[in-house]
Structure 1
Amino acid sequence: MSAATATPLVEATGIVKRYGPTVALQDGRLTVLPGESHALVGRNGAGKSTLVTVLTGLQAPDAGTVRFDGQPAPQLGDRAAWRSKVACVYQRPTVVPELTVAENLFLNRQPDSRRGFFSWRRLHEEATAVLNTWDVRVDPDARTADLKVEDRQMVEIARALSQGARFIVLDEPTAQLDNREIERLFDRMRGLQESGVTFLFISHHLQEVYEVCQTVTVLRDARWITTAPVAELPRAALVEAMAGEVVAERQAAAAEAVVEQDGVDAPVVLDVKGLTSDTYEDVALTVRRGEVVGLAGSSGSGKIALAESFAGLHTPTSGTALLDGTPLPFGDVRAALKAGVGCVPRDRHGQGLVFGMTIGDNATMSVLDRLGRYGLVGTTRKRDVATELIERLDIHTEGPDQPVSDLSGGNAQKVVMARALASDPRLLVLINPTAGVDVKSKESLLSRVDNAREDGTAVLVVSDELDDLRRCDRVLVLFHGRVVAEHPAGWHDHELIASIEGVDHG
């Protein structure tokens, strides 16, 4: 049967999903034919994850339809029916590590045995049959925790196939794999395709799309943009579809926001050489006084772990980082703060705020030693400093005594930024500083970056948002843990995205 006449194995049309005022998906569309590997790509926030939750029956769309093999999708509560249609293998495997492969394959559905007694022998036999059927070369009695990541993924795929599913969603499956493991995974995917298995492949690395997929669908700004055969879509066109049109006015405004510096004449504040850990390798970079340097990369690039290392959250295995000529203390947040590092962490809820405390307490907790003597904090002094920070960051509040839990997302993030700035850091590390805030709050937060630059602070901005990175004097791109590109201010969206997605380098 030709592709033109084949009934789609999966077809989603007009999918809409809202969370309160936020539109997570406005026009989700996907048509996947039997036996193909179909790529779903788009930048963070494009709507990929939302579409996957609808395709796997984890939530119902507010509008639109999903069909499997021409038939309407099961009712949301019928989990067995959904499992017989589709399964999702995430970048972090969902198998139970302490159980054996066989136990994971038949978790909550142990094979029936005679007289109602459980039979380990029969479990082993049926697990072996499943593994052999799908050519998964793993010992059924092996403890799953002892398997390599790629083998744990294959166990998940085999479990889904044993329940009848022939449509497998692979969500960033290569994020934790090295090049050799990735190639083995792709070989297994091709073999399963020949056996009638269909894949939806989600990846930030576009070269993988060209290696293993036949068709690609692009989402952008919560909407379907295009679906095309991979062989007929040049890489430049794919990047353009993901990036959209470049808005000249926005680029001009961002270029004006980049304050001209003395360049090489400014002293180096952060000097990094050969920094290596399990998530990044041989990183070398500098940040000068009054310079804003961006770090870009996909979710598995190592950019966040690198930035967190400078803030004392991780300890690299080798390499050096000097702050004004003095070794940076790794693995000690308090010591990093004392050394002159201020940080806005990636998760304001889990890492950035203490929700049982007031705005004033949260904003000043990093400088308590400056607010009193002999361990005693002056109440009036703390209140004055907190009030000054509230005004400086334009935090909309009744005052420093208001609980921080009362604030909106944008104002809560401003409190986190206020605390980072309170210590007058020499190096300011900002990790996804505008995530989850409204447009007005985003602009207010980014204006703090400009102020820090003017004050001579060295700033490192790590972000998935292109608008955050436009304020930078230059942007370094990490790919699989290595710095692979540097873009000076004035870059175009498609240029940066091409580097992030691995299109312009090997």
Structure 2
Amino acid sequence: MSTPTIPLVEAEGVAKRYGPTVALQDGRITVLPGESHALVGRNGAGKSTLVNILTGLQAPDEGTVRFDGGPAPALADRDAWRTKVACVYQKPTVVPELTVAENLFINRQPTGRGGLINWRRLHEQAAEVLATWDVRVDPDVRTAELRVEDRQMVEIARALSFGARFIILDEPTAQLDNREIERLFARMRSLQESGVTFLFISHHLQEVYEVCQTVTVLRDARWITTAPVAELPRAELVEAMAGEAVTGQGPARDAVPADAPELLTVSGLTAEAYTDISFTVRGGEVVGLAGISGSGKIELAESLAGLHTPSSGSAQLDGRALPFGDVPAALRAGVGCVPRDRHDEGLVPGMTIGDNATMTVLSRLGRFGFVGSDRRARFADELIERLDIHAEGPQQPVSDLSGGNAQKVVMARALASDPRLLVLINPTAGVDVKSKESLLARMDSCREDGTAVLVVSDELDDLRRCDRVLVLFHGRIVAEHPAGWHDHELIASIEGVDHG
């Protein structure tokens, strides 16, 4: 008779409240040693709160957390927590200007005589840690120069060097392309074989099926189910997350009229990241840009939004030259943009929802630099209603919002100026199923209003809403897929399978 496996991590009956807000009412999870365990749920389901409790950042109001069958460390004992668990967040926690070695041993550098750092020993220890966990990066390189996937592996190696064998990965694939995701998954499987256990948090359900053995679903701050991934069909998993049956079909749509005007005309656009790009987008047309990282798709979209200046070529919007390298001028020319990173480029965290949503249209809301607070509040209220942003009102700090609602604020600001061209870069990255549907519905609304929409995304669900998808490979457009493409066709183009 086999001895039952003691869970590596176990949480039962966990509750957490912030004043009247119930962040978690019945949180529970049991993670067995050596598995990859998925934690899924819509934004606001309680995932972040449970992670904060599992990592010792917050104490539960009720319930218990155990590691290896014993009680969790005291909240103040950070050293003890580091030997149990670590979380690799979507936003990096490494110091970009320090080397890999310095990041691995920050605040615990080996010292020699006089308390000075022993740099040779630091390098040796860093090389040893990286070799132990097969992380193939130079310990002397600045962390800022690493690819996202390598930076994540450095963070994992740092956690493992403390003795932790339970690693929480929070949306680890949000900034990775398909090839990088496969490499990350291969590394995860290798680490699992070495005795590392993962809690994997993702909104991309196909990834759960690729890399995880077990899945736990939270909904409305409660535990819903835990099941072997192989025994839970995707439709049932989505239903458990949403509380209702959800179809994966996008809305039916009519073809863009053949006589619709060409709003955006791009001719011979060339820069370091892309070469000789030419295409058009008509009014009421949604065009997708797809490609692996390094394909130039993001840099191309950012150029059209005024963030970069190409070395040659031109672009016209509504018959007028589009200004490059000047975001305010691009905004005045009729371009609205949802940037690739809502944390660093999309939101001002210290400001309210209303301030963030209206900052691009202040000249419309007042004269001579004076903006009436009532008028701005009304305008912000309309945007909150239009985008279905779940908030107490325009005065709520944007930093209080879940990822999905924060992204809706970024979308609200892009739409506030009634753009003629809407540039969306990874518009649904890191948002829940329902918020994703809401954001894509706004894209459909812009299409119906006659706006030209350009969508850069690695998400097939985003690209499915497009009238056609242009695929970039090594900085050039290599394929065009009209609506109705099959997944394998598009992926083959993206991965460079069907062209040289």
Per the TM superposition, whether the score is higher than 0.5 is yes
Q: 1:138 offset after TM fit, Å?
A: 4.3
Alignment of structure 1 residues 147-186 onto 2, 5 Å: 147-186=146-185
Kindly report which structure 2 residues correspond to 1:182-331, keeping only aligned pairs within 5 A, or say none: 182-246=181-245, 263-270=257-264, 289=283, 310-313=304-307, 322-331=316-325
Give me the whole-angstrom Cα distance separating, in 2, the residues matched to 1:178 and 1:295. Answer: 13
2:420 aligned residue (426, 447, 457): 426
Q: Compared with structure 1, are the counterparts of its residues 81 and 315 closer, same or farther at alpha carbon in structure 2 (3 Å cutoff)? A: farther
Verify: 1:85 aligned to 2:90, yes or no.
no
2:333 is aligned with what amino acid? A
Aligned letter for 2:107?
N
Q: What amino acid is aligned across from residue 214 of structure 1 in structure 2?
A: Q
Shift, 1:204, TM fit:
3.8
Deviations 1:406-431 (A, max 9, x none): 67879xx9999699656x64346689
Counterpart check, 1:365 vs 2:353: no
Q: Which moved more, 1:144-153 or 1:285-294?
A: 285-294
* TM-score for both structures, normalised by structure 1: 0.64
Partner SS state of residue 350, structure 1: coil
Q: Specify the code of the residue in structure 2 equivalent to 1:329.
A: P
Task: Assess if the C-alpha contact under 8 Å between 2:359 and 2:413 holds in 1.
Answer: no
Shift of 1:18: 3.9
Distance 1:186 1:415 in 2: 31
Supply the distance in 1 between the matched residues of 2:394 and 2:97 (Cα, whole angstroms): 38
Q: Which moved more, 1:79-88 or 1:21-30?
A: 21-30
Q: What secondary structure, in the 3-state scheme, does the structure 1 residue paired with 2:348 have?
A: helix
**1:334 paired to 2:333:** no
Judged with a 3 Å threshold, the aligned counterparts in structure 2 of structure 1 residues 453 and 36 are, in CA distance, closer, same or farther, namely closer
Long gaps (5+) in structure 1? 372-376, 397-403, 437-442, 489-497
User: Which residue identity is paired with 2:420?
Assistant: R
Q: What's the CA shift for 1:474?
A: 7.8
1:356 shift after superposition: 13
User: Does the alignment pair 1:31 with 2:25?
Assistant: no
The answer (yes or no) to whether the contact 2:264–2:281 under 8 Å persists in 1 is yes
Q: Which residue of 2 aligns with 1:8?
A: 7
Q: How does 1:351-500 map to 2 (within 5 A)?
A: 363-365=361-363, 377=368, 393=382, 425-427=419-421
Q: What per-residue deviation string (whole Å, max 9, x for no partner) do you get for residues 189-234 of structure 1? A: 3332222211112234444333332222233444333322223333
Alpha-carbon distance in 1 for matches of 2:220, 2:470: 23
Relative distance call for 1:280 and 1:219 in structure 2 (3 A) is: farther
- Counterpart of 2:326, as a letter, is D
Q: Does the residue aligned with 1:219 lie in a helix, a strand or coil? A: strand
Which digits, 9 at most, give the CA deviation of each residue in 1:382-427, with x for residues without a partner? Answer: 88x969985994999xxxxxxx9967879xx9999699656x6434
CA contact (8 A) 1:395 1:415 kept: no
The equivalent of 1:493 in structure 2 is none
Structure 2 unaligned blocks of 5 or more? 386-392, 399-404, 432-437, 496-500
Once residues 222 and 77 of structure 1 are traced to their aligned partners in structure 2, the CA distance between those partners, rounded to angstroms, is 26
Deviation at 1:56, TM superposition (A): 1.1
Q: Work out whether residues 428 and 458 of structure 1, in 8 Å CA contact, stay in contact via their aligned partners in 2.
A: yes
The residue type paired with residue 216 of structure 1 is: V
Residue of structure 2 aligned with 1:350, choices 331, 348, 351: 348
Conserved 8 A contact 1:348-1:416: no
Distance 1:352 1:100, change over 3 A: closer
Change in Cα spacing, 1:119 to 1:28, as seen in structure 2 (3 Å) is: same
Amino acid at match of 1:185: L
Q: 1:378 to 1:390 in 2, by over 3 A?
A: same
Change over 3 Å in CA distance of 1:332–1:76 after alignment to 2: same
Residue 58 of structure 1 is matched in structure 2 by: 57
CA contact (8 A) 1:313 1:330 kept: yes
Distance in 2 (alpha carbons) for counterparts of 1:63 and 1:265 = 63
Q: CA deviation at 1:307?
A: 7.0
More off after superposition, 190-199 vs 219-228: 219-228
TM-score, reference length from structure 2? 0.65
Question: 1:278, 1:205 → 2: CA distance?
Answer: 31
Match of 1:374 in 2: none
Kindly tell me: are residues 25 and 485 of structure 1, through their superposed partners in 2, closer, same or farther at Cα, counting changes over 3 Å? Answer: farther
- Deviations for 1:159-195, whole angstroms, at most 9, x for unmatched residues? 2222121111122333444555444433333332222
- C-alpha spacing 1:285/1:84, structure 2 compared with 1 (3 Å): farther
What secondary structure sits across from 2:224 in the alignment? strand
Q: CA RMSD in A?
A: 6.1
CA distance in 1, matches of 2:287, 2:242: 22
Q: 1:491 — aligned with what?
A: none
- One-letter amino acid of the counterpart of residue 107, structure 1: I
Distance 1:278 1:153, change over 3 A: farther
Aligned residue type for 2:188: M
Letter in 2 for 1:219: L
**1:228–1:97 distance in 2 versus 1, CA, 3 Å:** same
In the alignment, residue 48 of structure 1 is paired with which amino acid? Answer: K
Bigger Cα Rg:
1
Conserved 8 A contact 1:475-1:487: yes
